[in-house]
Amino acid sequence: MTRRIVLLKTWVLVVATSALTAFAQEDYPTRPITMLVPFPPGGVADAVGRPVAEAMGRYLKQSVVVENKGGAGGGIGMAQVAKSKPDGYTMLMALSSLVVLPEADKVLKRAPMFQLDQLKPIARFSADPTVLVVHADSPWKTYAEFIAYVKSNPAKVSFGSSGNYGTMHVPMEQLKAATSSHMLHVPYTGAGPAVMALLSGQIEALATGPASVTQQIKAGKLRALAHWGEVRLTALPDVPSLKELGVPISYAQWSGLFVPANTPPAVVEKLRQAAKFAATDARANQAMTAAGTSFMFQDMPEFERYVQTDAKDMAGLVQRIGKVD
């Protein structure tokens, strides 16, 4: 009899707990949500994340608070979200370096900061080719002038990035390999600090998404020489692609929303719908346009396939780049 009572109490407790969990998921969100941007302010993830967070907050009727946490090319913040509680209250606005860093850890023979399967894709918001920029006062008016100087003066030109194997580093390594040239790499904690370093003359060049530099280009502070896309960019229609200039390389810096892998399906679906809303929201679209980018939205199923394909492609590229100090 005593054993039956214990079993009955256990069953009641399990049912009650399950019911409370289901209710909590249905009632989600009941408090503010954190959107972690794994870079300092001023970069692409921040430029996309802030209007998306504001729009998602309006849809969910709960604040979505952007928190910047830079370091290790975005790896510190990405790892924090990957290992956080899967309850829907911590999201990640990542860039395409997300699929590169686990492979880079293998190349460097170091313990992985996180694994890709620890994160679940929700939606892609943008996918812009990186743009090669120099200071407006630099002597290089065209890409041809720039690369001619670089090749004639090995290791004299320095370029900045958001960190080793990040979305600003990989395309420049592509360029170096394609042109048999050598430039010095200076890693920063994000696009914002790297752009500030370029503006202050600490470095000579960098490659980044249009959202990080369009305003400075339009203000006459920076000069765009080329980009890694397939066709001319709407925000920078006078800037040629590297392919136009005879350099057969391309690279897209995408931004997307992720949550910890075991986040409950009901919560994931609410975030998915909020992400869809943000991508069509007039206020968010206006902010994206002002930043020099636009939504290139992918819903969850398509984005999941996109991430897996990009991870395979980038793994091969990282292997070709090899170990970078």
pLDDT tens figures, 138-189: 999 999 999 999 999 999 999 999 999 999 999 999 999 999 999 999 999 9
Domains of the chain: 8-127+254-321 (3.40.190.150), 131-227 (3.40.190.10)
- Sort strands 252-260 and 90-95 into parallel, antiparallel or unpaired: antiparallel
d(CA 56, CA 54): 6
Query: How high is the pLDDT of residue 261?
Result: 98
Sheet holding 64-68, edge to edge: 64-68, 33-37, 90-95, 252-260, 119-129
pLDDT, tens digit (0-9, with 9 covering 90-100), for 238-248: 999 999 999 99
d(CA 169, CA 165): 5
Question: DSSP H helical segments within 239-299, as ranges?
Answer: 265-280, 282-291
Of 126, 222, 228, 255, which Cα lies nearest the Cα of 172? 228
H or E stretch at 207:
strand 205-208
- What end-to-end distance do the CA atoms of the chain give, in Å? 68
- pTM for the structure as a whole: 0.84
Residue 9 has pLDDT above 70, yes or no: no
